[in-house]
Amino acid sequence: MPKKTPQDGPEGVEFTRNRLEVLIQALAYAAIDDFDYCMSLMRGDAEGDSFARLEMEFTDFLGKLVGAKTALNEALVRAEESNRELEAKLETIERQQAAIRELSTPIIEVWAGVLCLPVVGIVDSQRSAEMTETLLETIVAKQARTAIVDITGIEAMDTKTADHFIKMAKAVRLLGADCILSGINPSIAQTLTHIGVDLTGIRTLRNLRDALQFFLREQAASHLVKLQPLVESAQA
Amino acid sequence: MKRSTVATTGSDGRSRTSDQNLAIIQIRNCLLVSIQTELHDQLALDLQESLMERVRSADARGVILDVSAVEVIDSYITRILNDIGKSVRFMGAECYIVGIRPAVAMTLIEMGVELDSVNTALNLDLALERLELFQ
């Protein structure tokens, strides 16, 4: 360690140059993140001269740098931890979404050839597409002639959701089955009127009970119609 | 080049077009066509022609098209199907399409395409039932 006593004259210059070299060395070590060795180089008795001021400021600055770095590292560790927590939460949400999808489309055969799809909760594009697909496939599989879509469990509907249901009903009709929409509440009724949907061919009834009664009455009536020709020919 | 689709009637009442994919079977006064392959444009046009002739010669009151083997129905085919429905109606018969696949139905609804000149039924049995009601 060079003597830190300043002198005038050529030895003074030589002395200052030594201290300068120490400073440069310290900077070099700081640059490669070896703060410990860097700090140890700067330790020494403080002098009163003007160069000592540079040494002091540098040591001060170094201390702050080390402090900042430590704080940054701690912050990074915390950030990584909360990132991991968030990812775990996202995974949970995904698993729950899958479970909800599994539960969300029960299709119940309430009578021979009559299917009922009770809709509860939020219906977005993906869910309505899945529900429609499942309903159509079940209609074909069971050759069900009537599908009752009950929306008692839906509080309110916007234009997009209403559109999904209209498409669902139209797809059912396209297959050749009847579609009954039941359980429309006042708010949804107003929405449907307001957006002016075309519900031709889609019967709307108050509730599942009315829908079933309607279906049974139609059944009885069509049996009567079939009997008509026999009756007429008997009377002739 | 127009494909020839001369229909010949066998002794069993069956009619065969030169294209084996379009067997037209007569059941009472209804005609049943079972489409076994993809309904491409030319096939649909041939079908239209053969059907009209057959409706006339058999004095048919109903036409039933079974599309359960068809995976794709686009807007052009839909137009032809609607045309068949209208023409058949003019000749005093009703047209029923049975066996539309769920995926096809969803696509048609998404496209906003309407099969408005034909009726649809779940299966052959139901279609025949409905056609009897027209007697």
Residue range A77-133, pLDDT digits in tens? 999 999 999 999 999 999 998 787 767 778 999 989 999 999 988 788 888 888 999
Model pLDDT, residue A98: 79
- What chain B holds in terms of domains, given with CATH numbers, is 8-133 (3.30.750.24)
Task: With beta carbons less than 8 A apart as the criterion, state whether A35 and A66 touch.
Answer: yes
CA B47/CA B95 separation, integer angstroms: 13
Neighbours of A192 (CB within 10 A): 19
pLDDT at B107 over 90: yes
Compute the nearest-CA separation of A113 from chain B (Å): 11
Cβ contact B122–A145 (<8 Å) = yes
Amino acid sitting at position B72 = V
Compute the nearest-CA separation of B89 from chain A (Å): 19
Please report residues of A whose CB lies closer than 8 A to that of B123.
Answer: 143, 176
Q: Is A80 left (phi over 0), alpha (psi -120 to 50) or beta?
A: alpha
Range with top average pLDDT, A1-5, A35-39, A44-48, B112-116: B112-116
Compute the nearest-CA separation of B18 from chain A (Å): 30
Which CATH superfamily includes the segment(s) A108-235?
STAS domain (3.30.750.24)
Model pLDDT, residue B7: 47
Q: Could you say which of A132, A170, A177 has the minimum Cβ distance to residue B122?
A: A177
Interface of B with A (CB under 8 A): 97-98, 100-103, 105-106, 108-110, 115, 119-123, 126-127, 133
pLDDT class of B38 with cuts at 50, 70, 90: confident
pLDDT at B122 over 80: yes
Please report residues of A whose CB lies closer than 8 A to that of B106.
Answer: 129, 132-133, 136, 171
Cβ contact A136–B109 (<8 Å) = no
Model pLDDT, residue A2: 53
CA A49/CA B79 separation, integer angstroms: 99
pLDDT tens-digit series, residues A163-217:
899 999 999 999 999 999 999 989 888 888 888 888 888 899 988 899 889 888 8
- Which residue does chain A place closest to B115, by CA atoms? A174
Mutation target to probe the B interface, by most B beta carbons within 10 A, among A175, A219, A227, A230 is: A175
Please report residues of A whose CB lies closer than 8 A to that of B95.
Answer: none
Range with top average pLDDT, A45-59, A152-166, A211-225: A152-166
Model pLDDT, residue A220: 86
Cβ contact B120–A173 (<8 Å) = yes
Please report residues of B whose CB lies closer than 8 A to that of A170.
Answer: 109
pLDDT at B58 over 70: yes
> What three-state secondary structure class fits B22?
strand
pLDDT class of A54 with cuts at 50, 70, 90: confident
- Of A41-55, A146-160, B30-44, B71-85, where does mean pLDDT reach its minimum? A41-55
Q: Could you say which of B102, B109, B121 has the minimum Cβ distance to residue A137?
A: B102
Domain segments of chain A: what residues? Answer: 1-100, 108-235
- Which residue does chain B place closest to A145, by CA atoms? B122
Cβ contact B106–A132 (<8 Å) = yes
pLDDT tens-digit series, residues A64-81:
988 999 999 999 999 999
pLDDT at B11 over 70: no
Q: Could you say which of B106, B123, B127 has the minimum Cβ distance to residue A136?
A: B106
Model pLDDT, residue B134: 60
Model pLDDT, residue A234: 56
CA A81/CA A84 separation, integer angstroms: 5
CA distances from A187 to A44, A77, A155 (A): 83, 51, 8
pLDDT class of B3 with cuts at 50, 70, 90: very low
Residue with more model confidence, B126 or A14: B126
Model pLDDT, residue A5: 55
